[in-house]
Amino acid sequence: MTVNWSKKFSERSITMKASAIRELLKLVDSPDIISLAGGMPDPNLFPKETIAKIAKDVFENHGGKALQYGATEGIPSLRETLVKEGLSEGIEGLKKENLIVTTASQQGLDLVAKIFINPGDTIIVEAPSYVGGLQAFHAFQANFVTVPLDDDGIKTDVLEQKLKTLKKDGVNVKFIYLIPNFQNPSGVTLSLQRREEVLDISHKYNVPIIEDDPYGEIRFEGEAYPSLVAMDKIGNVIALRTFSKILAPGLRLGWIIADEEVIKKLVLAKQASDLCSPSATQYIADEFIREGHMRKYLELVRKTYKEKKDTMLKALEKYFPKEVSWTKPEGGMFVWVNAPEYIDTDKLFEEAIKEKVAYVIGSAFYPHGEDKHHIRLNFTLPSKEQIEEGIKRLGNILKRKIK
Amino acid sequence: MTVNWSKKFSERSITMKASAIRELLKLVDSPDIISLAGGMPDPNLFPKETIAKIAKDVFENHGGKALQYGATEGIPSLRETLVKEGLSEGIEGLKKENLIVTTASQQGLDLVAKIFINPGDTIIVEAPSYVGGLQAFHAFQANFVTVPLDDDGIKTDVLEQKLKTLKKDGVNVKFIYLIPNFQNPSGVTLSLQRREEVLDISHKYNVPIIEDDPYGEIRFEGEAYPSLVAMDKIGNVIALRTFSKILAPGLRLGWIIADEEVIKKLVLAKQASDLCSPSATQYIADEFIREGHMRKYLELVRKTYKEKKDTMLKALEKYFPKEVSWTKPEGGMFVWVNAPEYIDTDKLFEEAIKEKVAYVIGSAFYPHGEDKHHIRLNFTLPSKEQIEEGIKRLGNILKRKIK
């Protein structure tokens, strides 16, 4: 007698799919494949020595606290630091009651889903959007309504049109999920005018915004816009931030800024999810900021990623067929490639692997997988040589497909 | 215009309650209150110097990996270590495919809830049971059926009776949640005979067992019984383990051992929940075990906790009225006090705080809060002096209540 697990699993788990990205990453573990997939920072930049020094000091001198359970909201000193950073960014009136530390941004997404989404509830997401966000919301059985992007971010006219229709139909839209800066996967940034429009629409239709901003600090050219949470005056924005891109993902730390009432619910949800985030890494991250290392590290990150991005854009010009276009991000980690509609990038992936180059299939970023002619390219993890060679290989494959 | 969040929150979040323990802990933050509440290890025992040394080495020499994203399943070397430990414990045929690293045990509970529980699904829990487990399952809107404990653990006759009735009623019971060793809050241990009975019942009714075992290694006297996952031969047991009690909760690390099919679902659920557990602390914990520090540390923990437990039992004999009884745990962290039924320990709590001593109200450990004459006492965090004085204060309060 063996266990028939399928009779026990929950409905939500039956439709859970392996992230296309994660599954594909397993394929590309082979060292001779050049991976332009993934979304990892460049580990060569990690401030290893500084963190080693800080960690030693933290465990030696504050080990009693750093190794102990911490408050669900986060350790007080880190929250204080993050409030200070938020205030200097222009988030008026920010208090520690508006902030919870999370086990990185992915947990932020999970907790937001937990406190807002009943099975079948409607949410609005960009198309394309971050796979991890879609997964987190899918796990709570959300109903996805998509709004397309252009070079200025989410198309606000379509957004308003859809909200109007949904309102007429009596649908209580739970939130709008946006990645305003160097969007994953598209690399586009929400323009200032669109930011104002999105906030107006959010107020008018009384739908909160989830502002997921992992890349805002990784701007290497052009002018930065204020975040939605800083522009918003009524507490309608729930902002998700993370240390994964500005310091190191291996610490598993992020934070959420929101209305006090929302934070209270998030705290309850987090208690049930993992009690608290690692005190050990919270103390390390806090000390890293307090000692003033962050700005210097970010300068190095921006400089290096800009060079890698430039390398990729140059290679794209050189090797990609003229029928293919791509975004030119001013920050972040990704370039989004638009192939002619007759090229199915899901199918192309196998060929790419044969030619020893990997990317992420565009369809992974659509909740209904409807778009199949995009490619996401990462320029932060591979070396410049790998970028050049990888784009060359991919360009050759694409050229063969052009009709 | 302000946001009306209550119209947006999910049904599950509306009934989420603050953990009684966590809320009460806020009250007892005052330094002049002796807290016998909480469930924290003694931070004076943490191997701070060893971890400081290991952390420095890990970040200096393996920083590229320790600060990077890791596999959702956990970093390979830690999984390898944990498989080795599991095999030497007697879990036959254990492979890495049967194991996932979690962000401590609380996440284990959350993930289990996520993959098994639809709103309204029935699960069986001990009464009393761990608050965090109840919270995790409550967040997924489980329907709780309770089975009482005695000195040998869960009453298997009642368990079978309830399963029989539920089967007759066509209810698909999703799992039985058990804490077999030094149960939280009761301190009792499931006897060997009961272990066999529980497994037989689990097989007969085809209901998986969630074996939550944070305290198994913290046995300071008496004979250890094999774990349910080691005794089980058909893969019906899902075992939750944690580093929180055997090393340090601030690392936020635990693991789950289960059938491969279950692990696959847990991996998908974890991807959506937090992508991966902290690589930083996984490398540290792995190295701590590999360098052979664990056994020595556990010896110190067991010795110290035994002394503290003995101090508490002696003080209970000395100061508590004879109408009150309590468990005599052979390990773990808690003593469970049984007051006469006419003493409402919820109400008593306020008086205790006035007299500068804190405990956890027994009702917190019942899904329906029905039992109000128990008290949970922790002996690992307070000093021996605090234990003696705290029990004295509590004894005086109880004596005044005896009719």
Question: pLDDT digits over A162-185, tens only?
Answer: 999 999 999 999 999 999 999 999
Determine, for residues A12 and B118 on separate chains, whether the beta-carbon distance falls below 8 Å: yes
Mean pLDDT across chain B, nearest whole number?
95
**Structural contact between residues A147 and A289, judged by C-beta atoms closer than 8 angstroms:** no
Q: How far is B231 from chain A (nearest CA, A)?
A: 15
**Structural contact between residues B173 and B206, judged by C-beta atoms closer than 8 angstroms:** no
Q: Which residues of chain B from 250 to 269 reach within 8 Å of chain A, CB to CB?
A: 250-252, 259, 261-262, 265, 267-269
Of A2, A7, A277, nearest to B116 (Cα)? A7
Q: d(Cα B208, Cα B239) in Å, to the nearest integer?
A: 11
Q: Which residues of chain A from 114 to 133 reach within 8 Å of chain B, CB to CB?
A: 114-119, 121, 132
B14 band by pLDDT with thresholds 50, 70 and 90: confident
Q: Does domain B67-290 have CATH number 3.40.50.280?
A: no
SS3 B330: coil
**pLDDT of B21 strictly over 90:** no
Q: d(Cα B45, Cα B38) in Å, to the nearest integer?
A: 17
Q: How far is A114 from chain B (nearest CA, A)?
A: 7
**pLDDT of A242 strictly over 70:** yes
SS (H, E, C) chain A: CCCCHHHCCCHHHHCCCCCHHHHHHHHCCCCCCEECCCCCCCHHHCCHHHHHHHHHHHHHHHHHHHCCCCCCCCCHHHHHHHHHHHHHHCCCCCCHHHEEEECHHHHHHHHHHHHHCCCCCEEEEEECCCHHHHHHHHCCCCEEEEEEEECCEECHHHHHHHHHHHHHCCCCCCCEEECCCCCCCCCCCCCHHHHHHHHHHHHHCCCCEEEECCCCCCECCCCCCCCHHHHCCCCCEEEEEECCCCCCHHHCCEEEECCHHHHHHHHHHHHHHHCCCCHHHHHHHHHHHHCCCHHHHHHHHHHHHHHHHHHHHHHHHHHCCCCCEECCCCECCEEEEECCCCCCHHHHHHHHHHCCEECEEHHHHCCCCCCCCEEEEECCCCCHHHHHHHHHHHHHHHHHHCC
- Summarize pLDDT for B342-373 with one digit per residue, the tens: 999 999 998 999 999 999 999 999 998 888 99
Q: Which residues of chain A from 134 to 153 reach within 8 Å of chain B, CB to CB?
A: 135-136, 138-140
Helices (H) and strands (E) in chain B, counts: 14, 14
- Summarize pLDDT for A329-349 with one digit per residue, the tens: 999 999 999 999 999 999 999
How many interface pairs between A and B have CB atoms less than 8 angstroms apart?
292
B16 band by pLDDT with thresholds 50, 70 and 90: confident
Q: Where in chain B is the domain with CATH 3.90.1150.10?
A: 5-47+296-401
Q: How far is B342 from chain A (nearest CA, A)?
A: 32
**How confident is the model at residue B18, as a pLDDT?**
65
Q: d(Cα B289, Cα B246) in Å, to the nearest integer?
A: 11
CB proximity A273 to B under 8 Å:
yes
Q: d(Cα A341, Cα A35) in Å, to the nearest integer?
A: 24
Q: Does domain B5-47+296-401 have CATH number 3.50.4.10?
A: no
Q: Using CB atoms, pick whichever of A56, A72, A252 lies closest to residue B55.
A: A56
Q: Using CB atoms, pick whichever of A43, A63, A265 lies closest to residue B13.
A: A265
**Structural contact between residues B233 and B205, judged by C-beta atoms closer than 8 angstroms:** no
Q: Which residue has the higher pLDDT, B55 or A30?
A: B55
CB proximity B223 to A under 8 Å:
no
* Sign of the dihedral through C-alpha B114, B120, B125, B127: positive
Q: Note the ipTM here.
A: 0.96
Architecture per CATH, domain A66-290, reads as 3-Layer(aba) Sandwich (3.40)
Mean pLDDT across chain A, nearest whole number?
95
* CA–CA distances in Å: residue A8 to residues A250, B233, B259, B262, B301: 33, 19, 13, 10, 38
Task: Over range A243-270, report the average pLDDT.
Answer: 96
